[in-house]
Each structure stands twice: as structure tokens, then as C-alpha cells.
Amino acid sequence: MDTSFRRSASSAKSGRRRLFLVTLLALLIVLLNMATSGKVAALVRDAISPVSNIGARIGSAFTDNEYLSTRGSLESQISALQDEVQSDQLQAAAFQAVEQQNASLSALTHLAQTSPGLAAPITSSIISSPYGTFTIGAGTADNVAQGSLVLTSDGFVIGKVAQVQAHQSLVEEVFAPGVQTPVSIDGAAAVASGQGGEAQAEVPHGVNVSQNDPVVAPSYEGKPIGIVQYVDSNPANAQSAVYIALPVSLSSIQYVYVTP
């Protein structure tokens, strides 16, 4: 029992000694800090700062990784949606092109009931050639011959085949620059001079010619080649000038009807 008491007293004395040393060390640090104008505290902060910065960087790294992961996921979703929209747009454009082709071909079917022939696609720009020519995807293999007439879906003659190959033909437009075509405008005979996309004719003053009157060509089986677009009846001129054009835009035509 005496031994246990002595151990307890020794342990208490050791605890008081450690407490005294810690208190003394704390007081010493405070005194040194005061004596050095705070340099000791600065040194302690500098020692602790790297550890704190490392912790902050680790936390930031976790945050950045989460941000990058989220951003990468969103970018992938956006890219997938853009691809889907583009695919839908391409499909819609293709469907619209097929619809236009079907409409163009359907508009030509009624011509087959009145005159034999075939539908042919235009394979070159109908307005880019300075010579007033264009090509079609039909030739001798389809019974197309030189001189065959080329019509719009409304039955207007827009040209005739000038050169022909097995599967392609060159068409010269009626309104090609310099082409002279005898015509009849409301019973009045005239000559239409092609000017590239349109034509001009002259009739005597007093001839009853009005806007939208059909202009037919006897040399083209009496078929129409255009309509009167404008009449200039200036009395200062010897005759009235009649401007002729097609009722449809040449650039909008995709298929034509070719008579053998």
C-alpha cells in the first residue's frame, strides 16, 4: 500500500513537471515573439503555410477534376445532339429534294398524253452558259435526235437539241443571244430576237398586243415559246417593242420534256 502511494505521488509530480515545462515553453515563445516584434509567429506561420497550401491544392484538384468531368460530359452530350440535328437536317433536305423531283416529273406526265416523248434531267446550269445552251441526260439511246424540241412542264418550248450523244444532248435555247425565231403574237407576225433568257420583237403600232399574251412559234409546231412581258408603245419609235419571256424561271427547272 505504501508502494502504491509512492507511485501515485511520483506520477503526479511528473505530470506537474511536464505541465510546468510546457507552460514555461509557451511563455518563452511569447516573450521571444514580443522581443523579435512578431518574427517567431511569422516563422511558425511560414512553417505551417506549405502544409495548408498542400491541403488547399488537394481540395482544389478534387474540385477541378469534378468540374472537368462534368464539363466533358456536357460537351459530349452537346456534340451528340449537334450530330443528331445535322443528320435530321440532311435527311429533311434529301426528302425535300426527292419531293421536288417527283413534283417535276408529275408535272410532265400530262404532256405524254398529247405528244410522244420522254422526261430528261437537266445536267448543267441552264443560266451559266453565255451561249444560251445547256445539257440534258438523254441521247440517241433514248431516241433523242438533233432538232428534237425541249419543253417545260407547261408545254413552252425552251430550246431544241443541237448536238446529241448516246446518253447526253446539248440544247440550244430559243432565247439564246442572236437566235431569230418567227413568232405570232395575237395573230400578228413578228420575229423574236433572243437576248439571253428573254427575247424582243417589234409589231406595228395599233396591233392589239397585251401583257401575258402567248407568243407561239409556227416553226415549232405552233407551240408557245413565251408570253408578252411588256409592251413599249412609244410613238416616237417606228414600231412597238414587245418583250417576251417564259412564265417560269429557267433556274427553277429540273426536268424537261423532249419530243423525238
pLDDT greater at residue 125 or residue 163: 163
Q: What confidence tens digit (pLDDT) does each residue in 11-38 have? A: 555 656 666 665 666 666 656 556 555 5
pLDDT greater at residue 247 or residue 90: 247
Domain coordinates in residue numbering, the chain: 115-260
CATH 3.30.230.10 fits 115-260, yes or no: no
Q: What is the mean pLDDT of residues 132-140?
A: 94
Q: Which residue has the cell 477534376?
A: 65
